[in-house]
Amino acid sequence: MTAITLTDFSWDRMIAAVEAVRERARRAAAALSGAGIEYVVIGGNAVAAWVARVDVEAVRNTKDVDVLLKRQDFDRAIEALAAVGFVHQNVAGVDLFLDGPEGSVRSAVHVIFASEKVRPDYLLPAPDVTESEPGPEFAVATLDALLRMKLTSFRLRDQVHLLDLLEVGLIDESWCQRVPEELAERLRAVIESREREA
């Protein structure tokens, strides 16, 4: 096992980490908007934005920023984001933007292309950028679009995000009617696991 170095406990570092993600999302959104590029914030930040509309105490922090873009806008997005300090890289087939030359992949702005499958085996493609709602700092995926994305990828973090949405009452079993049956089965499984542990 690799040795790790522990630093002191620090509220300041915890707060700074959250603020850094927020500032990164704000800066990326402003750059894209300023260039006239349609985008949508998705992933953990979109879940947090929705959850905060109901219960700020239920918000879960995330370390990166996920953005939905049209592929035809990508070259322009590279220019717009570079102008505010982001550095484009493609890592293992994923397009992302490091926050500066020394930025971390873990905290990067990750790009998902609208109306395309993230992986060939995914049941559904990503939503279009039109499936969004405006926010004070950035556009966020609609709840329907966010639910489909979380059920399609269905990694452990996606299941946790689904639990967050269920916990505050944003979604419930009635939402199974809004998605294809294969995805509805996944939502029922998350609901059942939550009920077993209640």
Band (98; pLDDT cuts 50, 70, 90): very high
> Quick one: pLDDT at residue 136?
87
> Quick one: pLDDT at residue 3?
85
Segment 135-142 shows an average pLDDT of: 94
What are the structural domain ranges in the chain? Answer: 12-142
Higher pLDDT, 109 or 1: 109
> Quick one: pLDDT at residue 43?
96
Query: Is residue 141's pLDDT more than 80?
Result: yes
Query: Are the beta carbons of 186 and 151 closer than 8 angstroms?
Result: yes
Instruction: Give pTM, 2 decimals.
Output: 0.93
Query: Starting from the edge strand earliest in sequence, which strands make up the sheet with 65-69, in order?
Result: 86-91, 94-99, 109-113, 65-69, 39-42, 140-141, 132-133
Q: Among residues 189, 197, 139, which one has the least CA distance to residue 162?
A: 189
Query: Is residue 33's pLDDT more than 90?
Result: yes
Domain 12-142 has CATH 3.30.460: yes
3-state DSSP call for residue 98? strand
Band (177; pLDDT cuts 50, 70, 90): very high
* Helix and strand numbers, DSSP H then E, in the chain: 6, 7
Band (187; pLDDT cuts 50, 70, 90): very high
Query: Is residue 198's pLDDT more than 80?
Result: no
Query: Is residue 161's pLDDT more than 80?
Result: yes
Query: Is residue 79's pLDDT more than 80?
Result: yes
Residue 198: CA count within 13 A, CB half-sphere:
10
Mean pLDDT rounded to a whole number for the chain: 95
> Quick one: pLDDT at residue 2?
79
